[in-house]
Amino acid sequence: MSTAPATPLSDDEVQSIRRDFPILQSKVNGHPLAYLDSGATSQRPFAVLDAEREFASTMNSAVHRGAHTLAAEATELFEDARARVARFIGARDDEIVWTSNATEAINLVAYSMSNASLGRGGADAEPVRLREGDEIVTTEMEHHANLIPWQELAARTGATLEVIPLDDHGALRLDVAAQLITDRTKLLAVTHVSNVLGVINPVAELIALARSRGALVLLDACQSAPHLPLDVKALDVDFAVLSGHKMLGPTGIGALYGRRELLQVMPPFLTGGSMITTVTTTEAAYLPPPQRFEAGTQRVSQAIALAAAIDYLDGIGMARIAAHEAAFGARLVEGLGAIDGVRVLGAGIGLPRVGLASFDVDGIHSHDLGQFLDDLGIAVRVGHHCAQPLHRRLGITSSTRASTYLYTTDDEIDAVIAGVSGAIDFFRRGA
């Protein structure tokens, strides 16, 4: 098998891709839109917009209910979408649970473990049961969605939450991780790619540490699944979560990957219709996974649109998208870091990264900088990016984040670098 690096997208290919995205033809404040906020929400191509519209226009119906033609067609498309997500990340079809987003997916795991800890699921649920004295390990760079659910789970079960710290450059302290992950560790929950720093974490080493201690592993793949080739089996994780709106899909759809043997013993999180076999007035019996975790009316059109997004990404090639963005990540770090007064967070440590960079500008609040860039038609993210502990560790309260995707151009990278430089000149003159 060839190990040659993938070829980044050419300028002509990027321009062709951009024509598939109607919003990228827009102007903002009289300037062509330079969309550098894909780390928050990506844009959608015609193929995705059309897939959702086509379903709503011609096949709209509930799934797994009814025997009429529309219901059968909707169910087939819904389950085909599940299969496409599974193939995209190297999983089995029955290991994909639909959720509203990655936040719900993480909470599903946390609340299922909590229910198991209350005795639900019986002896079979022992692999996901927590007791007082058990430990959950996460990191100092996590999005709040991969931190707060574990805080709550620890509070409900008597377990202890341990946090792997960062060094002064924003890299995870693997030496400390080796001390924190012990025989008492029940779960390691770690982000694959930091949504603030853009670094690709050394998850293989962390997973190996967890496995050596018999711990389960949950991977936050929100910032990796859209940008990197991802194989959950090769990584040997027990759970992984992703959000459709970060990978060319619609909002309101996400997915949980769960190792089959774990999903089979986990008690449900949400209960109600569509996830049961029999119900009496005093008890219920539940369907096998993944339907056990999919109570109520499902996100059918969104799932179908997410499958269309995955087809679009596969058509281009995830390795090529990763190469395209890695080049932009390096350019952002180099270009922004060369500006006097700009501190790029996590830069200069030689770690692999995606096309994302967050930075702090001396003397300019991130919200003011974001407004200045918006006046130029440049969309970036400002604030703490749902990662307050990380910002606190780095000694700041907020930052500005530029994040790229397959449709980003060299001119847009130049624009944001020039825009930051112009903002510094503007605010210094005002001072």
Residues 240 and 321 in one domain: no
Question: Residue 88's domain is classified under what CATH number?
Answer: 3.40.640.10
Q: Domain for residue 376, yes or no?
A: yes
Do 311 and 47 meet the contact criterion of CB atoms below 8 Å apart? yes
Distance CA 103, CA 107 (A): 6
Q: How far is CA 201 from CA 157, 214, 226, 346, 353, in A?
A: 29, 21, 16, 12, 9
Claim to verify: residue 238 and residue 258 sit in the same structural domain: yes
Q: Are residues 86 and 112 located together in one domain of the fold?
A: yes
Coil, strand or helix at 382? strand
Residues 143 and 146: their CA atoms lie apart, in Å, by 6
Same domain, 400 and 417: yes
Give the number of domains in the chain: 2
Same domain, residue pair 82 and 179 = yes
Same domain, 251 and 327: no
**Domain membership flag for residue 6:** no
Q: Which helix (H) or strand (E) holds 208?
A: helix 203-212
pLDDT score for 283: 94
User: Any idea what the CATH number is for the domain that residue 389 is in?
Assistant: 3.90.1150.10
Whether 222 is a known active-site residue: answer: no
Instruction: Give, as one character, the DSSP assignment of residue 397.
Output: S
Sign of torsion over alpha carbons 28, 29, 31, 34 = negative
Q: How many residues are listed for the chain in this entry?
A: 431
Same domain for 358 and 252: no
pLDDT at 5: 76
- Rama region for 65: left / alpha / beta (φ>0; ψ in -120 to 50; rest): beta
Last residue of a domain, one of 286, 314, 342: 314
Instruction: Please answer whether residues 47 and 308 qualify as being in contact, where contact means their C-beta atoms are separated by less than 8 angstroms.
Output: yes
On whether residue 420 sits in a domain, the answer given is yes
Q: Domain of residue 256: give its range.
A: 50-314
For the segment 39-76, what is each residue's pLDDT rounded down to a tens digit?
Answer: 999 999 999 999 999 999 999 999 988 789 999 999 99
Q: Dig out the tokens for 149 from the structure.
A: 């659910």
Alpha carbon 428 to its chain centroid, in Å, reads 37
Q: Is the dihedral of CA 134, 209, 224, 356 positive or negative?
A: positive
Contact 83, 93 (CB under 8 A): yes
Q: Measuring CA to CA, how many Å separate 301 from each of 81, 216, 263, 308, 395?
A: 10, 33, 25, 11, 43
Whether the Cβ atoms of residue 199 and residue 171 lie closer than 8 Å to each other: yes
- Inside any domain, residue 65: yes
Per-residue pLDDT of the chain (431 residues; tens, 9 = 90+): 345 678 999 999 999 999 999 999 999 999 999 999 999 999 999 999 999 999 999 999 999 887 899 999 999 999 999 999 999 999 999 999 999 999 999 999 999 999 999 999 999 999 999 999 999 999 999 999 999 999 999 999 999 999 999 998 899 999 999 999 999 999 999 999 999 999 999 999 999 999 999 999 999 999 999 999 999 999 999 999 999 999 999 999 999 999 999 999 999 999 999 999 999 999 999 999 999 999 999 999 999 999 999 999 999 999 999 999 999 999 999 999 999 999 999 976 667 899 999 999 999 999 999 999 999 999 999 999 999 999 999 999 999 999 999 999 999 999 999 999 999 999 988 65
287, 314, 341: which is the final residue of a domain?
A: 314
Residue 140's pLDDT is 98
Locus of tokens 């040659």: 4
Query: Does residue 263 sit in the same domain as residue 366?
Result: no
Out of 14, 319, 386, 396, pick the active-site residue. 386
Taking only the tens place, the pLDDT of each residue in 7-42 is 999 999 999 999 999 999 999 999 999 999 999 999
Q: Are residues 306 and 330 in the same domain?
A: no
Final residue belonging to a domain, choices 262, 296, 314: 314
Q: Do 283 and 337 have their domain in common? A: no
Residue type for position 244: G
The residue behind tokens 């959608």 is 44
Residue 384 φ then ψ, to 5°: -100, 0
**pLDDT tens per residue, range 209-242:** 999 999 999 999 999 999 999 999 999 999 999 9
Examine the domain organization and report whether 223 and 281 are in the same domain: yes
CA–CA gap between residue 194 and residue 171 (Å, rounded): 10
pLDDT of residue 2: 45
The residues facing 379 across adjacent strands are 35
Is the torsion defined by CA of 284, 286, 292, 297 positive or negative?
Answer: negative
The answer to whether residues 231 and 283 belong to one domain is yes
